[in-house]
Amino acid sequence: MKWPGIVALVALAPIVYSLAFPSVTVRYRLTLDAEVDGAPKTGSGVIEVSYSKESRLAGQHPIVIHARGEAVALDLDSRGTVFALLKAGSDSRSAPEFIVFRAFNFLHGALPDPIDDGLIKLQQLSGKREIALSSLPMLVRFRDINDQMSVEKVDPFDLATSFGSGVRLTRATLEIVPAGIWPLNRLGITGEPITRGVEKRLAWLGALKGKYLGGGGSARGAPLELDSGDFKKG
């Protein structure tokens, strides 16, 4: 084969691969609405999830999912802050990788089969949906924001127990937002940017570098078995 033919094959390889193994990137804004003594409070954040079909050779899983983003922070003034983590709550399908399926009523809260059709359906999603409070990610607060070991789980139906009387969560929504065009969206150049800044709230987070709260390499002894990836991914 002559050089022009080889060059053409090399140039076409990424296109052929993308057709055989498609990938869909979704960005969504998770918004939490609350009241503190009757005054409205809102917190939101944009999270990105990529779903990629993979070869089944060598026993690979047929789809690979990657999430990027940070825990959503909802400030409640002097009462403190509630964080919606990148971790499932009581609903196993409330993790960042699956909550879109739950919000848009995919059967069993999962990507439909066959995978190619499921990715097409995923790519066509748009608009805003309300999320049942029971299907929210894990909610937590810190008794002392500077002490990672002071983290406590928060009941979405009973914020008053954690933050005092007059505090309640009123609504949660998920909205699909523009993700832009790959690879520019990986740099945040196009589309609505992924929310950043959780390390400004949690000064100790950067030092964890993938470890569990408390600095350990395993979940043993870590409060709620949380690690840094539950607060920030990618």
Residue 155 phi, psi dihedral angles, 5° rounding: -85, 120
pLDDT at residue number 75: 98
Contact 135, 157 (CB under 8 A): no
Peptide bond into 114 cis (omega under 30): yes
As given in the structure block, the two tokens for residue 9 are 């094959």
All residues at 6 or more sequence positions from 226 whose CB lies less than 8 Å from its CB, including other chains: 85, 87, 140, 151, 212, 213
What's the confidence (pLDDT) of residue 6?
45
Give me 8's structure tokens: 């053409």
Per-residue pLDDT, 233: 97
- Of all residues in the chain, the percent with pLDDT exceeding 90 is 71
- Is it the case that residue 9 has pLDDT exceeding 70? no
Sheet arrangement for strand 81-84: 72-75, 81-84, 139-142, 151-154
pLDDT level of residue 189 (50, 70, 90 thresholds): low
pTM value is 0.85
How confident is residue 220, by pLDDT bands cut at 50, 70 and 90? Answer: very high
CA distance 222 to 210: 13
**pLDDT tens, position by position, 15-68:** 333 334 468 999 999 999 999 999 999 999 999 999 998 755 545 557 889 999
pLDDT band at 165 (very low <50, low <70, confident <90, very high): very high
Residues in the chain: 234
What pLDDT score does 182 carry?
58
Distance CA 205, CA 196 (A): 13
Tokens of 72: 């959503």
Q: Using alpha carbons only, what angle is made at residue 148 by residues 146 and 150, rounded to the nearest 5 degrees?
A: 95
pLDDT band with cut points at 50, 70 and 90 for residue 8 = very low
Q: Is the peptide bond before 40 cis (omega within 30 degrees of 0)?
A: no
Q: How many CB atoms lie within 10 A of CB 226?
A: 21
Q: Please say whether the beta carbons of 176 and 121 come within 8 A.
A: no
For 97-126, the pLDDT digits (tens) are 999 999 999 888 888 778 888 899 989 999
pLDDT of residue 55: 53
- Whether the per-residue pLDDT at 128 is higher than 60: the answer is yes
Contact 89, 138 (CB under 8 A): yes
